[in-house]
Amino acid sequence: MSGQAGTPAAEHHSSRWPGWIWSVPIAAIGIAIWLAIRSFASSGPEITVVFPEVADLKAGDTMVKFQDLVVGQVETVKLEKDLRHIRVKLNMHADMAGHLGKGTRFWIAGGSPSLSNLASIRSIISGPSIAIQPAPGAKQSVYQGLAQKPVLSFGEEGTAYILHTHKLGSIQRGTPIYYLGQEVGTVKDTSMVKGQSFSITAFVDRPYDQFVHAGTRFWSAGAVSLDTGGTGPQVQFQSIPSLIEGAVDFATPKDAAQQPPAKASDSFTLFGDRDAALYAPGPNAVLYRVRFPEASGGLAADAAVTLEGTRIGSVVRSRLLYDPTTGAAGIDAVIGIDPAWISLAGGARWTQPRAQMNAMLDTLLSQGVRASLVSAPPVIGGETVALRLAHDKPAKLGGGPVPEIPTSGGGGIAGIMAKANDIVSKFNDMPLPQIASSVDRTTTRLAVLTSSPELGDTLQHVDHTSLHLDRMTADMEYRIPAMLTQLRQALEQTTAALRSADAILSSGSSSLSSPEAAGLPGTLYEVTRAARSLRELTDFLDRHPGALITGRGGRN
């Protein structure tokens, strides 16, 4: 017991560490607190945007993007009481703080996929997103969203111009703008002006905006056009997407390229096609008036004006003109002829376009040139004004501030129809029954004549006579050479006798003094004449052997 009394008693000491088992929940709590602090430190501002349209936006799924970079997320979506607006709460990233000022803009992107921007087609699968165009400054509590993308995007550099047209066609927001076949800009906005025309905001990127001058021509290049120029018919269009969404193209004439670049918001006319734009009357164009008595298919503005097949201008305006006195409807048009499309020989220049153009037209009119309506392409094409040789009497320009060019008919569809009607009228005026009756009587008489037995006998007799003449001619052609040979022999003998007689006479013989010889010289003279006649007859028969049958006639 004593031993047990010397053993020290055990003492109990409690530890402050609760144990290793508690380290796990403590660590989890610490991590949660760290994540919360980190989330709070990295989270951006929360803002509310009211959009003027209802779209398929999903909380926790739809993203807020700045130039395809995610900068936020949709937290809640709420439909407004008017059922036309939606209120969207956005949770922005922290790096957007200080970029949500008063000028910040929001819009729903990807709601309408476009062929001009193939990247937008993926929105069909992924759904729309909210696009943002930031502005510096402190955030607002509520922002008013846009119905469509703003005209100018963040960081875009270039120049915006205003185009005016009476027909919008397929041009819309996002329509590409081309220059020399390269895309250099887009259409930012379109709007109607007083219900009569359209205004288009065309934005050309830098540095291509330096190619736009005061004289630059813009035209709609989205539709398919048929070119019937000197190289033959050609079908032209800008691109496959432009057939659906349209396209705008522009070019600058050489003289206009010398001018300074156009300024922002300068106005231009948007022409319907390339030819109408390039051949539109310039500042030096001279205006003339033309009147046509027929109104076949109508003469449209911007229609071509040609001189002997070469385009020199366009129709400025055209209207239908009715004459109550005659009851006829025609066309009254004003055309513009641009000296830039006509070259002067000898290095001359257009120093006085009006006077020089009037003198040129007066000269052409004195040679029979007239203005006429022509279809290009023929029959199926639209009406154009052609200045061409009509073989009319000399004429002169009319007076007034807008001189009138004399016209001639026969052009266009109306002219063709008029000529056809004239031919039909003349054909109808012909006495066809009388002509048919006369032809019938003539053919009947011919039939009777050919079937007459007397005609057969006559033709047979003529045939026999011709055969007999052929035989006689052949026989004479066979006999004539022998006859000619005999005549030549007789002539030679006569010649020999004359020579002998001449020798006797020249010998001085006494026999010549005899009474019998007193008439010898006369006899020799007659014999000589006979010999000469025989020689002439022989030569004549040699040249004309048929004379033995037909006689001498008028031959010499």
pLDDT digits (tens, 9 = 90+) for 214-263: 989 999 987 555 555 544 555 555 565 566 668 899 999 887 888 899 99
3-state SS of 463-524 is: HHHHHHHHHHHHHHHHHHHHHHHHHHHHHHHHHHHHHHHHHHHHCCCHHHHCHHHCCHHHHH
Residue 358: pLDDT over 70: yes
Q: Estimate the share of the chain in helix, then strand, then coil, as percent rounded to the nearest 5.
A: 35, 30, 35
Q: At 174, phi and psi to the nearest 5?
A: 90, -5
What percent of the chain is predicted at pLDDT more than 70? 71
Average pLDDT over residues 138-167: 85
Beta-ladder partners of 288: 335
Is residue 511 very low, low, confident or very high in pLDDT (cuts 50, 70, 90)? very low
Average pLDDT over residues 521-528: 66
3-state class (DSSP) for residue 439: helix
Residue 69: pLDDT over 70: yes
For 55, other C-beta atoms within 10 Å of its C-beta total 18
pLDDT digits (tens, 9 = 90+) for 291-332: 988 766 678 888 889 998 888 999 999 888 888 888 788 889
By residue count, the chain amounts to: 556
Range from 14-23, 151-160, 319-328 carrying the lowest mean pLDDT = 14-23
Q: CA-CA distance, 314 to 316, in Å (whole number)? A: 6
With b meaning 16 or more CB within 10 Å and e meaning fewer, what string describes 432-443?
eeeeeeeeeeee
CB distance 175 to 136 below 8 Å: no
Residue 512: pLDDT over 50: no
User: What is residue 115's predicted lDDT score, i.e. its pLDDT?
Assistant: 54
Is residue 72 very low, low, confident or very high in pLDDT (cuts 50, 70, 90)? very high
Average pLDDT over residues 521-543: 70
Strands 382-389 and 304-307: parallel
103 or 4, greater pLDDT: 103
Residue 527: pLDDT over 80: no
Show the tokens assigned to 477: 């052609």
Q: CA-CA distance, 241 to 235, in Å (whole number)? A: 16
Phi/psi class of residue 279: alpha, beta or left (left: φ > 0; alpha: ψ in -120 to 50)? alpha
Is residue 208 very low, low, confident or very high in pLDDT (cuts 50, 70, 90)? very high
User: What is residue 522's predicted lDDT score, i.e. its pLDDT?
Assistant: 64
445 or 76, greater pLDDT: 76
Is residue 515 very low, low, confident or very high in pLDDT (cuts 50, 70, 90)? very low
Is residue 185 very low, low, confident or very high in pLDDT (cuts 50, 70, 90)? very high
User: What is residue 230's predicted lDDT score, i.e. its pLDDT?
Assistant: 47
Average pLDDT over residues 172-201: 90
Residue 380: pLDDT over 70: no
Range from 50-64, 400-414, 536-550 carrying the lowest mean pLDDT = 536-550
DSSP 361: H
Q: CA-CA distance, 375 to 412, in Å (whole number)? A: 5
Nearby residues of 321 by Cβ (< 8 Å), 6 or more positions away: 291, 329, 330, 331, 332
Average pLDDT over residues 16-24: 66
Residue 137: pLDDT over 50: yes
User: What is residue 444's predicted lDDT score, i.e. its pLDDT?
Assistant: 79
| Cα 114 from chain centre | 30
The answer to pTM > 0.75 is no
User: What is residue 114's predicted lDDT score, i.e. its pLDDT?
Assistant: 58
Show the tokens assigned to 276: 């109408």
Question: Nearest-CA neighbor of 385 among 394, 372, 370?
Answer: 372
Question: Nearest-CA neighbor of 97 among 132, 45, 43, 142?
Answer: 45
Q: CA-CA distance, 448 to 56, in Å (whole number)? A: 99
Which among 124-128, 245-249, 458-462 has the top mean pLDDT? 245-249
User: What is residue 482's predicted lDDT score, i.e. its pLDDT?
Assistant: 72
Quote the mean pLDDT of the chain: 78
> What are the domain boundaries of the chain?
38-144, 158-278, 288-422, 453-506+518-550
User: What is residue 276's predicted lDDT score, i.e. its pLDDT?
Assistant: 85
